Amino acid sequence: MTAFKVDEANAGFSTLDGVLFNKSGEIIIAYPSGNASSTYIIPSTVTGINVGAFTSSNLMTVVIGDDADQAMLVDSGLGSNVRVITSSAYTEELAKAAAELKAKQEADAKAAAEKLAAELKAAADLKAKQEAEAKDAEAKAAAELKAKQEADAKAAAEKAAAELKAKQEAEAKAAAELKAKQDADAKAAADKAAADLKAKQEAEAKAAAEKLAADLKAKQEADAKAAADKAAAELKAKQDADAKAAADKATAELKAKQEADAKAAADKAAADLKAKQDAEAKAAADKAAAELKAKQEADAKMAADKAAADLKAKQDAEAKAAADKAAAELKAKQEADAKAASDKAAADLKAKQDAEAKAAADKAAADLKAKQDAAAKAAALKKKTITCVKGKLTKKVTAVKPVCPAGYKKKT
């Protein structure tokens, strides 16, 4: 049991601070054995203590009034190790303890203030160091970002140049393939024109030769017939007998000679015509092919030059637009990255500094409050001593809230 409790209406007992008394409060009946307090101040009103009242208590010190009869403690159940002290002596002890506590509290407060000042100085030094480190980190980050941006810009430019070069090479290849196709088409057209011209010339030469041979044969036959008719008429008049033989022979020889002459003339005329037609056809074909080739080459060169100029202008414009766009996007990205990195670094640093400063201040305040609370609690548990007088009699009463015994007055 840590404390006794008695109804106020109880006619035989009363309690004070958990201790059981008789109704008038002059006799201690029993002290609670479960009370953990090591010190008990016997009230100044007590004049007697029951036998064994303090048996099994945890008391180490019992304070009794200076004028109280200590004999009443005999057989009260106090152990031999319990110290009995008068109120005045106890008051002196408390005063000394209070002075020591006050000195200790002042020393603790001074030490806490000095510690707090040191911690605040350390916090300020830490903040200055952090700001310097943040500045260095920001400069380093800016340098690294600049180097990265330059590397990115160089890589982007090299990539754009490579892509542009690949595109130009593809377009140049397409232009070369177009020129090769045009040359092949021109050659095929020239060959076809020459073949068509040659076939036409050969057809015309053959028709002319056939017509010439037919005309020559008709003429020869007409001439032969006229000559034969004339010779026959003349010979018939002179020699009828010889006329037929001579006419036959002459006719045969003339026919053979005419046919040979006609054939030779026709062959020569055909050969001459063919040679002339071949030469003319070749000259015309060469001229047409040369003119066609020259025109095609001129057209191809003009088209290639125009295409190359247009392509170069387009590529230059596209490359410039792409480079400008890439540079603008890169610059915007770099500026955004730099701002974000700077803002984040500043925010992180400020948050870290605020957290460290708050933690340091909270710790110092908590330490100081804990010490002050402990000191205040200890001071609150300390007892004080007052001097009570009754005529020429003087008593010192020590308690947390000391009260003079009945008939005594507090000395002022």
- Could you tell me the pLDDT band of residue 58, with boundaries at 50, 70 and 90? very high
Predicted pLDDT of residue 149:
85
- Contact indicator for 385, 92 with CB cutoff of 8 Å: yes
DSSP-derived 3-state class of residue 74 = coil
Give the best-scoring range by mean pLDDT among 46-60, 119-133, 306-320.
46-60
Give the separation between CA 300 and CA 37, rounded to whole angstroms. Answer: 119
Q: Which range has the worst mean pLDDT, 65-79, 88-102, 359-373? A: 359-373
Which helix or strand (DSSP H or E) is residue 247 part of?
helix 240-381
Run of H or E including 30: strand 27-30
Record the pTM. Answer: 0.34
pLDDT at 361 over 80: no
CA 305 to chain CA centroid, nearest Å? 47
| Band of residue 36 on the pLDDT scale cut at 50, 70, 90 | very high
Stretch 30-48: mean pLDDT: 95
Q: Is the pLDDT of residue 284 over 80?
A: no
Task: Please report which confidence band the pLDDT of residue 40 belongs to, taking 50, 70 and 90 as the band edges.
Answer: very high
For the stretch 271-277, contacts whose Cβ atoms lie closer than 8 Å and that sit 24 or more positions apart, written own/partner, are 273/205, 273/208, 273/209, 274/202, 274/205, 274/209, 277/201, 277/202, 277/204, 277/205
pLDDT for residue 203 = 85
Q: Burial, 164: exposed, middle or buried (Cβ in 10 Å; 0-12, 13-18, 19+)?
A: middle
Residue 43: DSSP 8-state: P
Nearest C-alpha neighbor of 408 from the set 68, 90, 85, 89 = 68
SS3 336: helix
Confidence of residue 336 (pLDDT cuts 50, 70, 90): confident
Confidence bin at 247 (pLDDT 50/70/90) = low
Confidence of residue 114 (pLDDT cuts 50, 70, 90): very high
pLDDT at 197: 79
Going by the DSSP 8-state scheme, the letter that residue 70 receives in this structure is G
For the chain, the maximum distance between any two Cα atoms, rounded to a whole number of angstroms, is 228
* Per-domain residue ranges of the chain: 13-81+382-410, 137-359
Q: Which of 34-48, 123-137, 148-162, 364-378 has the lowest mean pLDDT?
A: 364-378
Question: Is residue 208 predicted with pLDDT exceeding 50?
Answer: yes
- What is the residue whose two structure tokens read 């890589």? 155
pLDDT digits (tens, 9 = 90+) for 138-165: 889 778 988 998 998 798 879 978 898 9
Whether residue 57 is predicted with pLDDT greater than 70 in this model: the reply is yes
Task: Give CA–CA dist 265/267, Å, rounded.
Answer: 5
pLDDT at 347 over 60: yes
105-140: b (≥16 Cβ within 10 Å) or e: beebeeebeeebeebeeebeebbeebeeebeeebee
| 59 compared with 401, residue with greater pLDDT | 59
Confidence at residue 172, expressed as pLDDT on a 0 to 100 scale? 80
Confidence of residue 243 (pLDDT cuts 50, 70, 90): very low
| Closest to 52 (Cα-Cα) out of 33, 24, 25 | 33
The winner for highest mean pLDDT among 7-21, 315-329, 364-378 is 7-21
**What pLDDT score was predicted for residue 235?**
61
- CA-nearest of 374, 370, 376, 380 to 94 is 380
Nearest alpha carbon to residue 20 among 58, 53, 67, 57:
53
Angle in degrees, 0-180, between the axes of helices 240-381 and 87-238, rounded to the nearest 10: 180
Amino acid making up residue 358: K
